């Protein structure tokens, strides 16, 4: 398995960085290391969560990468968990001035879009990301309508919602009134307010 080089590439030309991700305990990352080849430094995630916040190796790569660095990943699905995630990550890395290569697909992408294939690839990713987002929102709407029809819909409060609710309660609006406005139960609102700081309902 390749290890970090003791003599990194000349910083003037950037380093070659690798990223490896395995998603199950019995999955061997060795194949990915062989695919990406030699790298100055490699970042790895094992059993990564669904959110980027849970992918420590990826976050370290993003923080470490500098303009001129060349990032190698075994395949598209090893970097992004879905199209939206992949597009966002490629945009973040190329935005830092890095080049990203997906070895299995033989695709190299950089921010300058120096080839028509690069531009086509990024346009495709962007379009697919928008499509996936629209599809998810549509499914959410359908689920909400079904839950409402069955009388089991319970709206979830975002962090911004909780802040707004707290402000209204502090202004003297009753918890019951705020709960009705946000289509949640009073208990749900109480729990949300307690979660954002100590709160004791009056009376």
Q: Where are the domains of the chain?
A: 16-127, 159-195
Please give the pLDDT value at position 203.
40
Assigned CATH class of 16-127: alpha beta
User: Contact, 129 vs 84, CB < 8 A?
Assistant: yes
Among 5, 23, 114, 196, the one annotated catalytic: 23
Q: What is the mean pLDDT of residues 76-86?
A: 82
pLDDT at 4 over 60: no
> In whole numbers, what is the pLDDT of the chain averaged over residues?
78
Task: Return the higher-pLDDT residue of 162 and 53.
Answer: 162
Task: Return the higher-pLDDT residue of 110 and 51.
Answer: 110
Global confidence as pTM: 0.56
Instruction: Note if 23 is an active site residue.
Output: yes
Please give the pLDDT value at position 114.
62
């Amino acid at each position: 398995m390749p290890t970090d080089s003791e003599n990194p590439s000349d910083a003037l030309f950037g380093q070659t960085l690798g990223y490896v991700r395995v998603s199950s305990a019995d999955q061997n990352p060795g194949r990915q290391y062989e695919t990406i080849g030699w790298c100055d430094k490699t970042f790895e995630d094992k059993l990564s969560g669904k959110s980027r916040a849970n992918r420590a190796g990826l976050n370290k790569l993003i923080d470490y990468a500098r303009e001129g660095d060349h990032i190698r990943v075994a395949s598209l699905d090893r970097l992004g968990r879905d199209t939206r995630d992949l597009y966002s990550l490629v945009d973040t890395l190329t935005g830092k001035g890095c080049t990203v290569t997906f070895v299995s697909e033989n695709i190299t992408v950089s921010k300058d879009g120096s080839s028509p294939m690069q531009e086509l690839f990024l346009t495709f990713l962007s379009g697919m990301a928008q499509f996936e987002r629209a599809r998810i929102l549509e499914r959410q709407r359908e689920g909400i309508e079904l839950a409402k029809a069955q009388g089991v819909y319970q709206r979830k409060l975002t962090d911004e919602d909780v802040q707004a609710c707290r402000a209204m309660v502090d202004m003297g609006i009753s918890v019951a009134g705020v709960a009705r406005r946000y289509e949640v139960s009073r208990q749900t609102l109480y729990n949300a307010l307690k979660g954002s700081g100590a709160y004791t309902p009056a009376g």
